[in-house]
Amino acid sequence: MKIRRMRKEDYTEIYQLWTRSDGMGLRSLDDSVQGIEKFLKRNPNTNFIAVAHQKIVGVILCGHDGRRGCIYHTAVDRSYRRQGIGKQLVSVSIDALKKEGINKVALVVFSTNQAGNKFWQSIGFDQREDLIYRNLTINEKNN
């Protein structure tokens, strides 16, 4: 298994992996080809895929605003789980954030995503009880 930076050419296979994964909150515009291409241009060094047997088996979408990092979509193909791939993807993304001077990273997980919440807790991500997550849809087409 090899981990490398994500490229826009990986989009179709990555999107298929996301749609096969539980707990993904995909958006029609943000997670479109154009949306991911824009994200990769802004954050070219912090997004990674895991490849095994010429197939993308894991992905992490991670970026930052110059102050704080954010992990958006992380997925590992069901048949490749429990092999440390997710942990490796998180590790390389965090290393990339450190190289860019970022000192803290956050993420949002659906409360109903038991497997996801268990994973993030197992690798040291704390659950915050002091925050309320708020959302405002600017473009109604981004459903």
Domain boundaries, the chain: 2-122
* 13-32-26 Cα angle (round to 5): 85
CATH 3.30.420.10 for the 2-122 domain, yes or no: no
Of the candidates 90, 83, 78, the residue with the CA atom closest to the CA atom of residue 125: 90
How much is the pLDDT for 40?
97
Rounded-to-integer distance, Cα 73 and Cα 18, Å: 8
CA distance 142 to 105: 25
pLDDT in tens, 48-85: 999 999 999 999 999 999 999 999 999 999 999 999 99
96-124 pLDDT per residue, tens:
999 999 999 999 999 999 999 999 999 99
Question: In this predicted model, what pLDDT tens digit does every residue of 18-35 receive, in sequence order?
Answer: 999 988 888 899 999 999
